[in-house]
Amino acid sequence: MRIVIGSDAEGMPLKETVKAYLVELGHEVVDKSEEPAADLVDSTLAVASDLLENPDSLGFAFDRYGDGSYMAACKVKGMVACECSDERSAFMTRQHNNARLITMGSAVVGDEIARGIVREFLSEPYAGGRHQIRVDMLNKMA
């Protein structure tokens, strides 16, 4: 699977951990911030824009707490994102919300939990059905 990632300076260590794990799993990784972005808004917009152009891709954005990247992603029309600090939420947001982007904070999520979030998010397809009503509502909002 094609996975797009990006980070500001504060999220770089966690981004690198996740990047290595994604490569280990055999995914194609597109890193929008080989060098840290000057601001979390820039790194998140780079990831979200790529995801909109590549509908079969999923993504991860990193900063210190995850909330800034989440807020930036939610401003992008057509982007459904989730700030995530546990595996179950990653699983459910993919299955029920068709989230395409997970944001994580390096000061909140440790390496092992981050790998679990990645594993759960990427393992679960979108269920569609009754959940599509919610996704349609979200897409009309932004």
Would you state the pLDDT for residue 69?
Answer: 98
**What does pTM read for this prediction?**
0.94
Would you state the pLDDT for residue 140?
Answer: 81
Please state, as a whole number, how many other Cβ atoms lie within 10 Å of the Cβ of residue 81.
26
Q: Could you tell me the residue range of the domain that residue 133 belongs to?
A: 2-141
For residue 10, give the DSSP letter.
G
Q: CATH number for the domain including 69?
A: 3.40.1400.10
Angle at 87 between CA 118 and CA 35, to 5 degrees: 35
pLDDT beneath 50: ranges in the chain? none
Would you state the pLDDT for residue 124?
Answer: 84
Would you state the pLDDT for residue 25?
Answer: 98
- Rounded to an integer, what distance in angstroms lies between the CA atom of residue 11 and that of residue 1? 23
Would you state the pLDDT for residue 142?
Answer: 65
Would you state the pLDDT for residue 139?
Answer: 79
Listing from the earlier edge strand, what are the strands of the sheet with 2-7?
A: 28-31, 2-7, 58-63, 101-105, 81-83
Total domains, the chain: 1
- Rounded to an integer, what distance in angstroms lies between the CA atom of residue 21 and that of residue 28? 11
